[in-house]
Amino acid sequence: MQHILLVDDEEAILYVFQKYLERAGFAVSTAANADGAVAVFESRHVDALVTDQRMPGMTGDLLVQRLRSVRPGLPAIIVTAYAAECSPDLQNVPVLNKPVPPADLVSAVERALASQ
């Protein structure tokens, strides 16, 4: 079972996205901020990252860069209402606009994993 790390500072978003991904057959760990995400990443194997962009402490694009400095090529997706704030330098990181339909989120994760 592939393991997805899901990061968002809004508890309701975490809950809903976690349910979408679990119903699609993924194991999911959640974190409410980048520090929590790094802790999960360091303690468990992660197959892909799904993160919000605008969070306290560190933005989603910086989180992607930090985790990819340890594991280059980590599949990542940013889901945000602030797509214009995402770094244009990130390679192969789809940006989905909130609100995102469940099927679109699952499809994006599946595509990201397939391109690995």
Residues 6+ apart with CB under 8 A from 101: none
Superfamily, domain 3-114: Response regulator (3.40.50.2300)
Q: pTM of the entire structure?
A: 0.95
Q: Where along the chain do its domains lie? A: 3-114
pLDDT the model gives residue 112:
95
Q: pLDDT band for position 90 (50/70/90)? A: confident
The pLDDT tens digits for 6-22 are 999 999 999 999 999 99
Closest CA to 90 of 103, 104, 105, 80: 80
The pLDDT tens digits for 24-76 are 999 999 999 999 999 999 999 999 999 999 999 999 999 999 999 999 999 99
In this predicted structure, the answer to whether residue 89 has a pLDDT above a threshold of 90 is: no
